[in-house]
Structure 1
Amino acid sequence: MTDPVTHRLTTAEAIAEHLHGLIRRDGRLADVVARAGPVDVRMTEPGFAGMAKVICGQQLSVASARAIWTRFAAIEGATDPGQFLLLPEETIRASGFSAGKTRTLRAVAEAVVAGELDFSHIELLPAEAAIARLTAIKGIGPWTAEIYLMFCAGHPDVFPSGDLALQKAVAHALGLDTRPAAAELAAIAKAWSPHRAAAALLFWRYFAAIREREGIAL
């Protein structure tokens, strides 16, 4: 396989190659792949707009996040960091962004405008370095950084171990006695490097499949 940082999860072919790599590293995942069904490409716009969308979706249902994002993106200048900083806070809040999310996005915009945050550079870094740089911004936690790197940059080697659905899916698929905490799941996922993002996509799909197709509640 080519350099894993550049072999991004932006095509169906790349995902398939990473899934094959996962199975070679951990044979238990062959059954997970079979039960999960197709793992789709899930990419969104990179840069400030992409980070804004990730922040928008924090701790919300898909439907709620989509509705808020639609209102936010309709605000002129909202997805440009420089223009965003000129918008009144009440305009942002009216779209559905909480006060905390508004502060976080303002911190991101300020870092971009000041030249302290270059998304195009961060997206080329190894996972740990990229996450460290993003989480240095107040309000950006590991989950937000990892989701950005996965879905906006196609980074192939991040795994959001704090995600509840992933914790439940891995516990079920691997027959664990209890749902692993974030640190435990991160340790498990280390064995799947440099394919950890493909593993996350796989287990999210597995989580949906066993609930929807097989009728198993997690």
Structure 2
Amino acid sequence: MRSWKESKNCIFIKAPEPFNFKVNVDYFLRDPNECMYEIEENTITRVIEINHLRTLIQISEAGSDYLAVECLAGTKPESFEDKETIVNYICEWFDFDTDLLPFYEMGRRDLLLQPVIERFYGLRIMGLNDLFEALCWGILGQQINLKFAYTLKRQFVEKFGEHLDYNGKNYWIFPLYEKISKLTAEDMADIKMTKRKREYIIGVAKLMANGDLSKENLLHVDDLKQAEKELIRIRGIGPWTANYVLMRCLRYPDAFPIDDVGLINAIQFVKGMERKPTKAEIRELSAAWSTWEAYATFYLWRMLY
């Protein structure tokens, strides 16, 4: 049961233990080109869509136990159901429903993970609640560095997304799949991604617009391997992108993008290796991570970015 209360203009959401708001905000600050939210003085501001109504929210820490959520620009919902939907969105975004203590118990016995956990204690896998956004981000990030991926994302969002204006700033809404499904690759030609990636994104949008692909259906799949197979059937989605989406959107704790360059580089960095670890070595190192592969990967990523 998600615990929250309301006072004046704020909703207060009880944070689970362990949780460190500052450590999670630091993750959001990875790249200054992020366009889906703004961070100022440990406060997150972004637009979320609640029951087809767009709400501009500002999230800050209220003591050590609560997140304070304020609705700005006259977008505060009135009904209990809509307020609860905001709470549920934020709890999913911050992965509040996962009990991290078993992960930490395992990680403290793991020579590779132990120093990483100590450094980022209280970090949660910050999610991508929207399936279309998660798939687009996975496609955009294929075979390029993170900085360029953020550049492409900003170009895509600012060309095809919508925004709310508040205090002279634009707060962006990720492009809707309904809109993207009607485009051609040529409509996206001024975004500096490959034509193939443009086709992949439009293809995903068409599947979602036709009802052939949805987050709800994927969440009802029996297990990780079956969900991975469903995603890999989609043109442009390979094992890496599928596991990325399984981690950050569908919340499979055992999703594992084992071939990820960032994971490989992070293991090399933490272990002080002169060469990159082989896939066989990664399998051996990760043997004890069973059911926690996603969190182990996410924490290791944080050692680099």
User: Which TM-score bucket, shorter chain as reference?
Assistant: 0.7 to 0.9
| Aligned equivalent of 2:49 | none
1:67 paired to 2:163: no
Report the AA paired with residue 72 of structure 1. Answer: F
1:155 paired to 2:252: yes
1:167 paired to 2:264: yes
Q: Give the C-alpha shift of residue 100 in structure 1.
A: 1.2
Q: CA 1:28/1:89 → structure 2, altered by over 3 Å: closer, same or farther?
A: closer
Shifted more, 108-117 versus 20-29: the winner is: 20-29
Q: Give the C-alpha shift of residue 142 in structure 1.
A: 0.8
Q: Give the C-alpha shift of residue 65 in structure 1.
A: 1.6
Q: Aligned to 2:131, which of 47, 60, 63?
A: 47
| Aligned equivalent of 1:3 | none
Describe how 1:1-218 pairs up with structure 2 within 5 A: 10-11=94-95, 14=98, 16-23=100-107, 26=110, 29-34=113-118, 39-76=123-160, 79-125=175-221, 126-173=223-270, 179-182=276-279, 184-186=281-283, 188-207=285-304
Q: Give the C-alpha shift of residue 134 in structure 1.
A: 0.5
CA deviations on 1:178-218 (whole Å, 9 max, x unpaired) are: 5333465246434312111110012112345xxxxxxxxxx
Q: Give the C-alpha shift of residue 61 in structure 1.
A: 2.6
Q: State TM-score, norm by structure 2.
A: 0.56
Q: CA 1:13/1:29 → structure 2, altered by over 3 Å: closer, same or farther?
A: farther
- Cα RMSD over matched residues? 3.1
Q: Which runs of no fewer than 5 residues in structure 2 stay unpaired?
A: 1-91, 162-173
Q: Which runs of no fewer than 5 residues in structure 1 stay unpaired?
A: 1-7, 209-218
The alignment covers a number of residue pairs equal to 201
Distance, in Å, in 1 between the alignment partners of 2:183 and 2:191 is 12
8 Å CA contact 1:169, 1:206 repeated in 2: yes
Quick one: higher RCO (CA 8 Å, sep 6+), 1 or 2?
Answer: 1
Structure with a larger share of its residues in helix: 1
Distance, in Å, in 1 between the alignment partners of 2:93 and 2:255 is 11
Shifted more, 85-94 versus 176-185: the winner is: 176-185
CA deviations on 1:155-191 (whole Å, 9 max, x unpaired) are: 3111211112212333454577853334652464343
Q: State TM-score, norm by structure 1.
A: 0.75
CA deviations on 1:58-92 (whole Å, 9 max, x unpaired) are: 22233222222112112346832332121232221
Q: CA 1:81/1:32 → structure 2, altered by over 3 Å: closer, same or farther?
A: closer
8 Å CA contact 2:95, 2:126 repeated in 1: no
Q: CA 1:129/1:10 → structure 2, altered by over 3 Å: closer, same or farther?
A: farther
Q: CA 1:206/1:63 → structure 2, altered by over 3 Å: closer, same or farther?
A: closer
Report the AA paired with residue 82 of structure 1. Answer: E
Shifted more, 43-52 versus 15-24: the winner is: 15-24
Distance, in Å, in 1 between the alignment partners of 2:274 and 2:191 is 42
8 Å CA contact 1:36, 1:203 repeated in 2: no
Q: Give the C-alpha shift of residue 35 in structure 1.
A: 5.0
